[in-house]
């Protein structure tokens, strides 16, 4: 699925099943919650913390999709075309970091 299509599908879902968007600040709070859930799972899976009973059965891809969903909601609400924004972000990073990482001794 292309990003543009994802933005359209989320918008359609919100307007039919979800009734309406939560306001932007509510969605920002939800985004932080979802990032926290992703972080918790990553820390347990790849970090040094052990799993708790409540962590069992959680899926990394599902947690990432929850983050993406709310980010798409915020983009839709604020008029951001994520495809365009991502293209511009690649350009920015390429100009700024084109050689920086190649010369980083820590990455060799």
Q: For residue range 40-77, list pLDDT tens digits in order.
A: 999 999 999 999 898 888 999 999 999 999 999 999 99
pTM of the model: 0.90
- Please report the pLDDT score of residue 80 as a whole number: 98
Among 60, 30, 28, CA closest to 43: 60
Alpha helices (H) in 2-81, listed in sequence order? 3-16, 24-46, 60-78
Q: Which CATH class is domain 3-81?
A: mainly alpha
Domain boundaries, the chain: 3-81
pLDDT at 105 over 90: no
Confidence of residue 107 (pLDDT cuts 50, 70, 90): confident
| Confidence (pLDDT) at 18 | 95
Residue 12: both structure tokens together: 């359609």
């Amino acid at each position: 699925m292309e990003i543009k299509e994802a933005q359209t599908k989320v918008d359609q879902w919100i307007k039919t099943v979800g009734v309406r968007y939560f306001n932007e600040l509510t969605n920002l709070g939800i985004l932080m919650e979802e990032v926290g859930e992703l972080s918790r799972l990553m820390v347990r899976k790849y970090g040094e913390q052990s799993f708790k009973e409540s962590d069992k059965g959680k899926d990394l891809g599902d947690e990432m999709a929850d983050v993406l969903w709310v980010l798409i909601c915020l983009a839709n609400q604020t008029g951001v075309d994520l495809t365009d924004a991502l293209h511009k972000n690649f350009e920015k990073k390429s100009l700024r970091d084109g050689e920086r990482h190649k010369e980083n001794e820590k990455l060799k």
